[in-house]
Amino acid sequence: MGFWLELIASGLITGGIYALVAIGLNLQYGLMRIMNISHGEFLMLGAYLTWLAHTFAGVNPLAFLPVVALALFGAGLLVYRLCFRRIARTSPAVELIEARSLLVGFGLMYLVQNAAYLVWGADLRGYSFLAEPVEIMGARFTGNRLAAFGFAVAASLFLIAVLRWTLVGKAVRAMMQSPAGAQLVGIDTAVLHPVVFGAGLALAGVAGGLLSMVYEITPAMGEPYTVTALIVITLGGLGSAAGCLAGGLLLGVVEALGMHFTSPSLKMLLSYAVFIAVLLARPKGLFAR
Amino acid sequence: MRLATALAACAIAGLVLAPAPWLVSDFALSLTLSCLMYVGLAVSWAMFSGATNYLSLATAAFFGIGAYVTAWGHGTLPYAVAVPLGGLAAALFAAAIGAAVLHLRGAYFAVITFGLGELVRHAITYGEKTWARTVGRVISDPPATETVYLVVLALALAAVATAAAVRASRFGLALAGVGSDEERARTLGVNTRLVKTGGFALAAFFAGALGAAVAVRWTYIEPASVFNPFIGFQTVLIAMVGGAHTLAGPIASAVVFSVLTELLRLQFPYAYLIVLGALLILLVLYLPGGLASLLERWKWRQRHA
């Protein structure tokens, strides 16, 4: 019993982080058709900010999360203003927005990742925070993993609530359903697009801050998370935050089970296999009606 | 460019470049080799992706498959067999995945081709670890540098000649038709599925053959180096910077980028990639048609002045 609980729960814990990373990317893609392939690089920035604050100023990583979110939100506004606004305005077709934003994303990936290498070097960095094990129903977890899971799920739920029950959320959903219709009823793209893009990066930064408590960090840590986020989005369906949460938790559990019964070196192989299978069989997501 | 002109240019380039191994220094030769490799990769990429607007990120996968055909066959397969076999393996792989994923458009296609490349890389890593109990393979006793150079030169020229021939043919028109309006092309009687899969496989053949040909230059072959996504990105970048819808654009920018890479990458690895990233962003934002579009604009002005 304790064994199964531990296995499933460790899958759910990883899955919670996956969901948080994916929701940010999904919002950007669903709303603006921006496939920001450098999403993971901003997660890495969030992780480094948290590591810096904890190691050099002794700040509690959890208390520092709002600062990370704000900093990345600002970075998002800037990146949107410098790169993606022009693409959205000058591209004649949606397909071109997708293709061009993908290429710009690759450019940002090179830029941010290698800048991080220049500044922080290629060494693994890390710190110890809440590392004592906690026992729940015979299963043992470290405190930092539980905290990361709790915060990730709370942030995801908060976002789902914002999308569902606030006026801003309603505007975002309207814009996803029909961009032209939303503009006709007076929803302002010039405000909403940068804000949502910034919110997406803020979520990535928070996820990075949470991950830095659990794992060691390097400038290359972001890329696998981008891929995982793409898989989760395909599982959950484009533009659906709730689908992302479910898809993320599902992928975490599938990976944990698969890794336990085969071998840990198959992890990436499993994720890609799931991704390609879903894309071929149900390109609109597992939960699409 | 007319087909006859292009073929004549290929022949002349072949005659001029063929004696290089006996004339120039080792460094210049390896620089030329790298230029030729990227010319082949970028031209074959543009032949499919430039014409159809299907953004393929699978070049690294095709290249790696070719390289692994050489690695596995090393010692048993002669070099002259391994190179075309590597190309064929990549083309077969492309045809198989193309049939499955070429109905996806836009970012989905780009992402899934990238994902498939990574899938192959992880599969080979795992397979080698489990069954062969190795991480990489050592190429002992590689063919002479002159042989490798001449083979890569032949492949690059073949890629350019093929791309020129495709542009002049009905097949090339069909590819361009898919790129500008797929529905309309289908209405006009083009079998778009066959055309897309065929074009994708043809482009993959050259990437695979180049991978198989160049692999012997590395004494040690491992998945991380031959499936390096950088090869794929660099190819896309070169073709887009040059202008993916033209023939001469990717050739010119392949030469420029290879020289820059060889000169700068070893000395300033991180700074070089930062500049490359910034350059990619600026180009997509301000010159989406590539450098060739500057020339086109200039010609247009001359004519209408």
The DSSP letter of residue A266 is G
Please give the residue that has the higher pLDDT: either A160 or A97: A160
Which of B119, B270, B279 lies nearest to residue A272, judging by beta carbons? B119
Q: What is the pLDDT of residue A88?
A: 80
What angle, 0 to 180 degrees and rounded to 10, lies between the N-to-C axes of helices B192-215 and B79-101? 150
The arithmetic mean of pLDDT across residues B186-199, rounded, is: 89
* Percentage of residues in chain A having pLDDT higher than 90: 17
For A114, counting Cβ atoms within 10 Å of its Cβ (0-12 exposed, 13-18 middle, 19+ buried), the class is buried
**B115/A106 touch (CB, cutoff 8 Å), yes or no:** no
What is the average per-residue pLDDT within B77-96? 90
A chain contacts of residue B122, beta-carbon cutoff 8 Å: 268-269, 272
What is the distance between the alpha carbons of residues B87 and A264, in angstroms, rounded to a whole number?
33
Question: Tell me: the pLDDT tens digits for A71-94?
Answer: 999 999 999 999 888 888 887 777
Which residue in B119, B233, B274 is closest to A276 by CB distance? Answer: B119
- Do A103 and B284 lie within an 8 Å CB cutoff? yes
CATH class for the region spanning A2-281: mainly alpha
Map tokens 């600062």 to a residue.
A67
pLDDT at residue A72 in the model? 94
> Shortest CB distance from A100 goes to which of B115, B233, B284?
B284
pLDDT of residue A268: 74
Cα A180 versus chain centre, distance: 28
Segments of chain B assigned E as strands: 137-138, 220-221
Angle at A203 between CA A228 and CA A59, to 5 degrees: 115
Task: Note the residue count of chain A.
Answer: 289
**Interface pTM, i.e. ipTM:** 0.82
